[in-house]
Homo-oligomer: A and B are copies of this chain.
Amino acid sequence: MTSKVYDLNEQTGKDMAQARATTSIKVGVVRDYLYNSAEEWRARSSIVQVLENDPVFDKSQRDFMSRTERYTRGMALTNRIYELQEQNNWSAQDTSIAIATLDEQLPIHLHNVAFQPVFNLQGAPSLVEKYGALIASHGIFGCYLQTELGHGTNVGRLETTATYIPQTQEFEINSPTITSSKWWIGALGKTATHGVVQAKLILGGKDLGPHLFFVQLRSLKDHTPLPGIVIGDIGPKSGAGFGPTDNGFARFDHVRIPKEQMLSKFAQVTDDGRYQQPPHAKLSYGGMLYIRANMVTGGGWLMAKAATVAIRYGTVRRQGEIGPDGLEKQIISYPSTYYRLLPILSHSYVFIQLGRQLTKAFDTMAACLAKGDTSLLAEMHATTSGLKVLVSSTGVQDIEVARRSMGGHGYSAFAGLGRMYNDYLPSVTYEGDNFVLDQQVVRAALKTLHSLFSSPKPDPSTLTPSSFYLRLLIPPVSMPVFSPSIEEWTHPTTAIVLLEWRAALVVSDLAKNIKYPDASVYQRVSKAVSEAFVAKQVGGMIDDLKTKLPGEREQTAVRNIFILYLLTTVETGLVDLLSFNVVRSTSGGDVTRTLRVAIRRLCEEILPEAIGLTDAFGFTDWELDSALGVRDGKVYEALWNRAQQEPLNKTVVPEAYGGSIRPMLLRG
């Protein structure tokens, strides 16, 4: 093999063009599939264009900004979005697309996603009538104050009180201790004018547990905190994440609000201070499930970005061994690289589709809830809890895997994945800490198991999609022995059935050992249960390809991606499958090898389509904001150009020279 000398910089552009030329799929067709329709894609695309061309949304300086600058910029973006909404007559949907494409953790999210839905869902009709429009038009800016310095997960133990004063028909909000300070509240620190406060309702000295209250926090005249309220920002976050969001604290010193400001659609207090039970305590859960359902879609698109950046860089970065073309190999061609990156691509395809299904299911449920029908709530709760854990922990990991695959340059802020990682990182904690949610997923599974077998003749038709795998345990149980060939692994059913068996076995094993389970069991079982559910859904997605995705090559490519999802999921579940003897060597060899070879072959089949499959996400350079993910592949130019803007480069000799460097050199 001759090893050619070549212009690395020029080659990047050629390699990207070449990869695009080799893709056999029609990118637009797959894109429309991902966006659900050509119309949705076009709508989104036209919004992105408006933003890209507006200097307010320029991203070139943000990596250099201080936290305060990031916050100030964030508020400017937000203000501009609503200006544009007016100017362009955007629908609410358009505006939320616009905000989502900004790729910033903004205070406005808390208003739109937490404050407003909770207010509308739980406020009494009269209160909603009074403030609903003002909230919708951002005439007031809200936040959601639940967590306290001393309590997050255990909402029942919040310390803030709301004591009813029958004499004046008011509630008095009070923070008796430092640990009762509201803490972590997004948009509270500097922005919000109002908030929904979780506080223990105290009636005649009796503690009735946490309830919600609508409280004004700042003056609408001059934005100063109202009397009796101490507010501030809680400080910077890990890795400069959530920079533009003013997560804040607040303490209330006997602050009075009118009785009407209790959110009393479900629970009420009479004028003379008697408590009226909510008809359906669960009716109030809707909001949280909505956020979790949305997290699946959001996570999917984030993984899509990470995959796009890393696969593009892997296509143009050449390093190491000399390939057949006499040039160094493209790093994506190394098994240890594509094995890291293609699964991320598969996660994004799966979670984007799954998110869409979930949002639909949520809408159906919400319609039922509105009619007082709570029958779909339990299932929605079970699926969204498990998926929230799965998506957030997979997403955080995937972004880092993608970043790391890019070697040193991946550690540059200009690569963009570090920013994405640090912003996404707390998703494993908020909306229910993942380790706490694991327990809920497992408890739901055990409950279903018990109720299924509490009947002498267990009836599989009582099982919902989230617990469908439990049917396998109904006698007569015929636990299979799997020892699939490489070819058999490529049939989706192999993996799906295995993942269902795995879930069934770990759940029933836990039930047996419930008196002294091992210490990691909740994590393991929760994962198995969620993955069985997702696998089944992926089976459905594969079946649907024929009708939803025109074009044979396109179907094959996306099918391969889905199968890669299934096989790599089985791979991470191998311990369970092996320890329960489901996957078992019949010949004495290493039974896991056929699976692993099947994965490698599948990856090799997918590789030539990888750029096409990422182009199908339709991200612009502005959206990705990554020097390593540029569409034209010219990563070296992009890195070079960005580096020139570094503030330290504004002076030839740094400020530190006179004060520190020179004295040190002189002493030496």
Contact = CB atoms under 8 A, between A and B. Distances in A.
Interface stretch (A132-140, A377-385, A453-461): A132-140
A28 interface: no
Interface stretch (A469-477, A589-597, A611-619): A589-597
Interface in A636-662: 636-637, 639-640, 642-649, 652-657, 659-662
Given A426-B408, A656-B190, A661-B223, A591 B579 contact: yes
B426 A411 contact: yes
B661 A520 contact: no
A662 B219 CA distance: 11
A413 B665 contact: no
Contacts of A139: 665, 667-668
A622 interface: no
- Number of copies of this chain that the complex holds: 2
A154 B235 contact: no
Contact of A656 (B9, B76, B648): B76
A141 B63 CA distance: 28
- Which of A71, A337, A603, A657 has the most chain B CB atoms inside 10 A of its CB? A657
A668 B140 contact: yes
A654 B66 CA distance: 14
A14 interface: no
B667 A82 contact: yes
A604 to B, nearest CB: 9
B659 A421 contact: no
Interface in A19-43: none
Interface string A185-204: 00001110100000000000
Nearest to A149: B636
Contacts of A86: 667
A664 interface: yes
Contacts of A578: 574-575, 578-579
A239 interface: yes
Contacts of A436: 320
A652 B72 contact: no
B79 A663 contact: yes
B519 A421 contact: no
B643 A238 contact: no
- Which of A63, A239, A418, A596 has the most chain B CB atoms inside 10 A of its CB? A239
A519 B665 contact: no
Given A643-B235, A668-B138, A575 B596 contact: no
B407 A152 contact: yes
A336 B234 contact: no
Nearest to A176: B7
A506 to B, nearest CB: 9
Given A235-B646, A238-B421, A643-B235, A429 B412 contact: no
B643 A421 contact: no
A211 B190 CA distance: 56
Contacts of A518: 335, 593, 596-597, 599-600
A563 interface: no
Interface string A505-537: 000010001001111111100000000000000
A121 interface: no
A285 interface: no
A294 interface: no
Interface in A128-182: 134, 137-141, 147, 149-154, 157, 159, 177-179, 181
A254 interface: no
A357 interface: no
A325 interface: no
Contacts of A335: 517-520
Given A181-B640, A646-B233, A408 B147 contact: yes
A68 B64 CA distance: 9
Interface in A399-440: 403-404, 407-408, 410-415, 417-419, 421-422, 425-426, 428-430, 433, 435-436, 438-439
A519 B338 contact: yes
A487 to B, nearest CB: 15
A411 B438 contact: no
A664 B520 contact: no
Contacts of A240: 239-240
Interchain residue pairs A-B with the least CB separation, the first 9: A238-B418, A239-B239, A139-B668, A518-B596, A339-B519, A335-B519, A578-B578, A75-B656, A137-B668
22 contacts: A7-B177, A63-B235, A67-B647, A72-B654, A76-B659, A78-B660, A79-B663, A138-B664, A139-B665, A141-B665, A149-B639, A150-B636, A154-B319, A191-B661, A238-B419, A239-B418, A246-B648, A509-B593, A518-B600, A519-B596, A574-B578, A581-B585
Given A137-B667, A519-B596, 15 more contacts: A8-B179, A9-B178, A72-B660, A134-B668, A154-B320, A232-B648, A234-B412, A241-B411, A407-B433, A408-B429, A516-B597, A521-B596, A578-B579, A579-B585, A581-B585
